[in-house]
Amino acid sequence: MKDSKGWIDKRAPKHLSSSVLSGALYIHNGKDTQEKLERSEQVLNKIGTELASYAMALLVLPQMMDMMRDSQEYKDFADKLQSQTVH
């Protein structure tokens, strides 16, 4: 595929556009916290606040999922779901 960026951007929702994904990867690959902060500002200046917020959301998603799995509400829900499942 010659122009995958254009192909993706035509089909993907805004929060999964190539600029958002590239921005998230660029920030993630910073060597330390200071470099990641600098890269975050660069991404913000390049793609704007809305798309940069989507990139940041992608970066915090794994931590949020871990926090959710550790919550008592999720454990209660998982136990209830397991007890209702027919084996």
How far apart are the C-alpha atoms of 46 and 37, rounded to whole Å?
A: 14
Residue 87 pLDDT exceeds 80: no
What confidence category does residue 7 fall into, taking pLDDT thresholds of 50, 70 and 90? confident
Burial of 27 (0-12, 13-18, 19+ CB in 10 A): buried
Q: Over the stretch 34-85, which tens digit does the pLDDT of each residue have?
A: 999 999 999 999 999 999 999 999 999 999 999 999 999 999 999 998 888 7
Distance, in Å, from the CA atom of 16 to the CA atom of 24, rounded to the nearest integer, reads 10
Per-residue pLDDT, 18: 93
Tokens of 74: 């999720």
For residue 54, give the nearest of 80, 87, 25, 74 by alpha carbon.
25
Q: Is the pTM of this model over 0.95?
A: no
Q: What is the pLDDT of residue 83?
A: 87
